Amino acid sequence: MDGSAAQVVDVGARFDVRPRIRSALWLGLNRADAIWALAFLVPYIVTFVLFVIYPLLYGLWMGSKPSLYTDLFSDPIYQDTAINTLIYVLVGVNLRMVMALGLSGFFMRKSWWTKPLLILFILPWAVPALPTFLSIHWMLNGNWGLLNNLIWDVTGWNAPSWLDERSYALTSDIVAYIWKWLPFWTVIMLAGRMAIPRELYEAADVDGATGSRRFWHVTFPLMANLYLVCTLLGMLFTMGDFTTVYFVSGGGPANSTQVLATLGVRDAFVMSEPRLGVAAVMSAIPVLVPLVVLLMRRVRAAAVER
């Protein structure tokens, strides 16, 4: 080394950290790949911001005025509506999940008819919701409905009008909801059961565990996380369910089966007060936020366990 300018430049080039910094900034990608990565990411980010973040923030802004909640809580049907929503969610989701868990065991059978039966079973979930619930509404009509006419023809008994009393109408909503969504969650539970290693059941057989003992000591402990996550997710989805109640009972009789989603739509579009409608559904946030937190914690805990 003679200290010449060329040698200085050469040494400088060897110790120039700028390319490494740039490389680190682009997550280890070279420039061309980084540009391509951005080119593919940007449309997704823009779509996400436009169709998720912006509507969310706009909705929060729409429901941010305190006077909206004064108007909302002074609505004579709000309290019953909130209670209906809780009943609908707690009873509907939990009953559905218990049934899904049980039916998933049924569909584990190795009979030749299991698969075709499963395909038939999935149909309610596959068909469009709106015409389905309208059909259920008409089937449940006390006078011309299919159900009561069938009951009369078979038994000679005048069955009650299923949509004309609050308890029957809310039950009809819950039953329609379970009928529609049970297949989906049954398939999820079925997938969970299929992931349980067969060796565990074989070991349980060796130990003499059969029937319900196999379920409680092998199946359920391994399905518990999945069951809980599905229940929490189901509750979050159901809090905002509009279609079932709107088309089956219509929120009646006498507004006695309204839920927050149908009340929100009524306020937004029928009363032409969209901000009040948003406030109606936002009033569920005190329940929604803890559910989301619980869900995230369960998901994180399940990931750590793995």
Partner 1 sequence: MSTISRRSVLQASLGLAAAAGLSRPYIANAAAKTASVWWTQGFIPEEDAGFEKMVADYQKVSGNRIDYSILPFVALEQKMVSALQTENTPDLIAYDGIQTTMVMSAYANKLVDVSDIVAPHEKDIAKVALQSMKLYNNVEKRRAYYAVPFKTASVPFHVWGSLVEKAGYKMSDCPDTWVERWNWFKPMQAKLRADGMRQIYSIGLQMTTNGPSDGNNLFHYWLLAMGGGNIVTPDGHVHLEDPKVKNAVIETVRWICDTYKGGYTPPGCISWNDADDNNGFHSKLFLMDLDGTISTELAMFHRPEDFNNCVTLGLPKGPDGKPSPAMVGAIGGMIPTAAKNIDVAKDFMRYVIEPKVNSDFLKAGLGRWAPIYPQQVKDDSFWLHNENPQLARHLTPYVEETLLGASYPDYMVYNPGYADVEAQQVWGQTYASVYKDGMTPEKAVDKAFKQVEQLLARYPTTA
Q: Which is nearer to partner 1, 145 or 234 (CB)?
A: 145
Among 59, 124, 240, 252, binds partner 1 (CB under 8 A): 252
Among 34, 253, 295, 302, binds partner 1 (CB under 8 A): 253
Q: What's the min distance (Å) between Cβ of 47 and partner 1? A: 16
Binding letters toward partner 1, positions 276-295, x by CB under 8 A = --------------------
Q: What's the min distance (Å) between Cβ of 137 and partner 1? A: 7
Among 228, 256, 291, 302, binds partner 1 (CB under 8 A): 256
Q: Could you say which residues in the range 183-212 bind partner 1, by CB under 8 A?
A: none
Q: What's the min distance (Å) between Cβ of 133 and partner 1? A: 11
- Which of 81-89, 120-128, 214-222, 252-260 is the region at the interface with partner 1 (rule: CB under 8 A)? 252-260
Residues at the site binding partner 1, with contacts judged by CB under 8 A: 32, 35-36, 39, 62, 71, 74-77, 137-138, 141-144, 161, 163-164, 169, 249-256, 266, 268-275
